[in-house]
Structure 1
Amino acid sequence: MLQSLKNLPVILDLRKTIFENKFSSDENVNYFRGIYGSFSEAELSSPKTKPKGYDNTESASLYKERTNKIYSTDYPVLFWMNNYKTDIKKVFDFGGHIGIHYYSFSKLLDFSGIESWTVCDVPSVAEEGRKYSEQRGAKNLNFVSNIQDLSDQDLFLASGSLQYLDWEIHEKFFELKKFPKYLIFNMLPLHSTTSTITLQSIGTAFCPYYIRKENDFIKGLESIGYELVDLWSNEEKKCHIAFEKERSLNYYRGLVFRFK
């Protein structure tokens, strides 16, 4: 009965109005709302109260506390990086922000065999990462803002980043002269039956957000010569799109691929 009352037209409209006010103004939040046909459509629906995307000073300044902490969702990545450590000398950390995993993983991984760790992120974040690396005295840590700099790399790592792209990674790899040996994806929103573009509030900005269909994502990478090695669930991470239960996620995914 309570659920029926919540969905009465008048009450549902009131709930949506209250949520929209929170979505527009709340900080330090992780809200999702709306279903859109494209990233541009999602951007157009953004409230005017905050910037769009991560390429701004406020968003670039996020997550510094994460550089000193290992999260439970990190351990599968740590396991596979350690498993392949003799083959990994060059890491391309796509969407790695200010080098979060470079700093945090160094607490548990042996980095002596890694010659370079390159973070690819938007210009504002990359610039903040360079400044932060100077403060921390980081070695072999580089920052770029173009995926075309992905060349002759051993590992392509993407943790919590592909959802901010409206193109497919297997299609972008076709532009490379040489594919990475290994791919590790983590904190990736994949749905069992459908794909969805929604809009996320990260507190400092609004970001179009792409939930891919799991089977399509895997088949895309297999089509260019990769084989799936491992697949796991990040059960600590959820994506609840307001008023869209069927398109929401109760867990994210992690995957490892190896080039055959």
Structure 2
Amino acid sequence: MLHYLWKELAPPLLLNLRWYSFRYGWKGDYKSYEEAQQKCTGYDEEHILNRIIETTLKVKNNEIAYERDGITYDAVQMNFPLLKTLLYIASKNDNELTLIDFGGSLGTTYYQNYPYLKHLKKINWCIIEQPKFVEAGKKHFENEHIKFYPTIAECMAENDPQLFLICNVLQYLEKPYHLLDEVKQLGIPYVMLDFVGYNRKNNDRITIQHVPPVFYGVKASYPCYFLNRARIEDKLCENYEKKYDFISANEKYYVQLEPFRYEGALWELRQ
């Protein structure tokens, strides 16, 4: 009863602080990506990859419903803005869907959405990842729908994608705007940015994200941008028109007491 009363009477700020951690989360405001990286343990360590292989295999073998970042779930956590977009694009292409999932791990988003896409006439889900992930993907997860590539060029040589998906990845790249420069020259009909955290100020902020061991079984940390929304949109607007914005997740998070929500947008190639 006391717990219930506290939830009813506590100010919203206190309730939202459940998403704030003094130990983990996003910390700092660094001058450069390199400066932040020097203070990080990284993401590409062997034990992290092994953890993700283990949990993704459980999804593939129907032992669990869903995994993300090495955590297993009893139910799939749906991303409805993404699913809506995938079905929309497929409907415009005779119920066929070919997409690039840039930084798509070992297929988390593919397995999340496949039950709602398996009626399509064709699905080509192309994941571009780090070399060790590509090696693991080819060994354990490739099938008639999902393929792994180390570079955009190799993927484009074999596929004609309708969508370039960048989901919860852009902010972790050393040069995120270089990727957008490359993508906008490819001529792919749609580009989708999803799970992006934006800086409230008119500049990029470079932080270090400290990840609790519940995710990978060990502590991990890596540089993470909070990007300048206007700069991203100005760059994409040169070749694309924004179709719609959306909130990727309702949860509110904090960068050292500064709140933010993950956001996304779909962009269509200008005719």
Aligned pair in 2 of structure 1 residues 222, 198: CA closer, same or farther (>3 Å)? same
Asked if residue 215 in structure 1 is aligned to residue 230 in structure 2, the reply is yes
TM-fit CA distance, 1:191: 2.7
TM-fit CA distance, 1:82: 0.5
CA distance in 1, matches of 2:224, 2:27: 10
Cross-structure match for 1:170: 180
TM-score (norm 2): 0.72
- Residue correspondence of structure 1 range 116-131 to structure 2 within 5 A: 116-131=124-139
Which sits farther off after the overlay, 34-43 or 201-210? 201-210
Which sits farther off after the overlay, 152-161 or 57-66? 57-66
Percent identical pairs in the alignment equals 21
Aligned pair in 2 of structure 1 residues 215, 34: CA closer, same or farther (>3 Å)? same
- Residue correspondence of structure 1 range 197-216 to structure 2 within 5 A: 197-202=206-211, 203=213, 204=218, 205-216=220-231
CA distance in 2, matches of 1:128, 1:249: 36
Cross-structure match for 1:196: 205
CA distance in 1, matches of 2:42, 2:33: 11
Within the candidate set 143, 152, 168, 1:147 is matched to: 152
Cross-structure match for 1:90: 98
Cross-structure match for 1:182: 190
CA distance in 1, matches of 2:35, 2:253: 20
TM-fit CA distance, 1:105: 0.4
Aligned pair in 2 of structure 1 residues 89, 251: CA closer, same or farther (>3 Å)? same
Gaps of 5+ in 1: 1-17, 24-30
TM-score (norm 1): 0.74
Cross-structure match for 2:82: 77
Gaps of 5+ in 2: 1-20, 57-65
Cross-structure match for 1:15: none
Aligned pair in 2 of structure 1 residues 41, 201: CA closer, same or farther (>3 Å)? same
The residue type paired with residue 210 of structure 2 is S
CA distance in 2, matches of 1:79, 1:33: 34
TM-fit CA distance, 1:237: 4.3
Matched pairs, number = 218
Q: Secondary structure at the match of 2:141?
A: helix
Within the candidate set 36, 48, 56, 2:30 is matched to: 36
TM-fit CA distance, 1:70: 3.3
Asked if the contact 1:184/1:254 (under 8 Å) is kept, the reply is yes
Asked if the contact 1:189/1:249 (under 8 Å) is kept, the reply is no
CA distance in 2, matches of 1:197, 1:208: 7
Asked if residue 255 in structure 1 is aligned to residue 256 in structure 2, the reply is no
TM-fit CA distance, 1:226: 0.3
The residue type paired with residue 80 of structure 1 is T
TM-fit CA distance, 1:236: 3.1
Asked if the contact 2:188/2:269 (under 8 Å) is kept, the reply is yes
TM-fit CA distance, 1:251: 0.5
Asked if residue 114 in structure 1 is aligned to residue 122 in structure 2, the reply is yes
CA distance in 1, matches of 2:134, 2:252: 27
The residue type paired with residue 37 of structure 1 is K
CA distance in 1, matches of 2:246, 2:129: 25
TM-fit CA distance, 1:150: 4.7
RMSD: 2.4
Cross-structure match for 1:66: 67
CA distance in 2, matches of 1:158, 1:113: 24
Q: Secondary structure at the match of 1:143?
A: strand
